[in-house]
Structure 1
Amino acid sequence: MKKYHIVYLISVFILIVTGAVAFVISYKFQINKKPTRLSDLPKVVNFEECSRAGYPILESYPRKCRAANGEIFTENINSTDNKDDLIRIVRPQPNQVIKSPLDVSGEARGSWFFEASFPISLIDSEGNEIATGVAKTESDWMTQDFVTFTATITFKKPETKSGELVLKKDNPSGLVENEGELRIPIHFE
C-alpha cells in the first residue's frame, strides 16, 4: 500500500508543478504583451482599405466594414452603373467628401419624377437620416427622355465620417414594383 501512496503523491506533485509552470509562462506572456492603441492600428478611409486591414465585414447589401474605432464603411457597388439607364448623378460623385449645404445635380428619366420632383435624403453610416430634400426639374418631366434635376440639402455634420445620399424614385402609387432608388456613398468633411 505504501508504494501506491508514493506513486500517487509523486503524480500529484508532478501535476501541481506542471500547472504552476504553465501558469507562470502564460502570465509572463500576458505581461509582455503591449495593449493595442487605436493609433497603432492601420488607418482606413474606405471599404476596400477596411476590408484589407482585416476588420469584420457586415453581411448586408451593400456590404459594410466596421473599423476598430467603430466607423462603418459601405462598399461602393457602382450603383450608378446599375441604374445608368434611369438616373445619372453629376454631383456629388461616389465617395466624394461633402459639406453643408450640399448641391445635388444630375439627370433622370421622366418616369423617375412625379409632378416634376422626387425625394432625396442623406443618411449617416449608421442609417440615421440626417436631412431630406426634394430634387426638382424646370423642364418637361412627362417624357421617357432624360430630364435634368437639381437640389440643395442643408444638414448638421454627423458624428460619423461617411454615409449615403439616397435618391428615391417618386412612387405615388405605393406599389413595390414601381419603387427605385440610387445610393451614392459619400464622406463628410
Structure 2
Amino acid sequence: MADKRKGYVVGVDLGGTNLFAAVVDDSAQGEVLGETKRKTKAELGAMAVTERIITAIDKALKKAGLSRADIAGVGVGVPGPTHPQTGIVVRCPNMGESWDQFPLARHLSEQLDLPVTIDNDVNVGAIGEHTYGAGRGTQDMVALFVGTGLGGGLILNGRLHSGFRDSAGEIGHMVILADGPRCGCGGRGHAEALA
C-alpha cells in the first residue's frame, strides 16, 4: 500500500482500441502503483468513453490502495490533435466525429474533482520516454509509435517540440501515395492508411 501524500498522479493512454490508466508515484522515478486496461469502445461516443476513462481511473486507484483525494492530477494522452491549453480534443479520426472539439479535460475534471491536462498521445509518450525511458539523458530524440494510428513525437533541446498547429511529428498523415486509400482523417494515401 502506498504512503498517502499528493506525490501521485494518474496517467491515461486513450487509444482507438484500448485505454490504459495508471497511478504513478511521481516522486519515485515514475513507479507504477496500480494500473488497469479496458476496451475503449469508441463507437459509443465521446461522453460514454469519458465514463469508461473514469471507471478505469477508479479501478487503478483501488489497485494502488489510493483514492482520488490522494491524487495531484490526471494527464491524458489522446489519439489525435488537441489544444492542451484549453483541454479540447480537436479531432480523433480513428474514434469518430463525437470527438471533434470535445472538451475532454473539462468533463473529466468536473467528474473527478481533479485538475486534468490533455495532449496528443504521441507527444505524451515522447515526454515519458525522454524522462524515464530510452531517451533519458538525451537532448534530442524522435519517438515513433505504432498502434491504431501512426505518429511521432519530437524532443529538441530537451523540450517537446510541437511545431506549427501542434502538428510536428504527425508522420502518420504524410502523403505517401497520392491516390492511395482513404485515411481515417479523410485524406488519401497517408502513411497511416497504408500501414
TM-score normalised by length of structure 1: 0.25
Q: Which has the higher contact order (CA 8 A, sep 6+)?
A: 1
Structure with the higher fraction of residues in strand conformation: 1
Larger radius of gyration: 1
Q: TM-score, normalised by structure 2?
A: 0.25
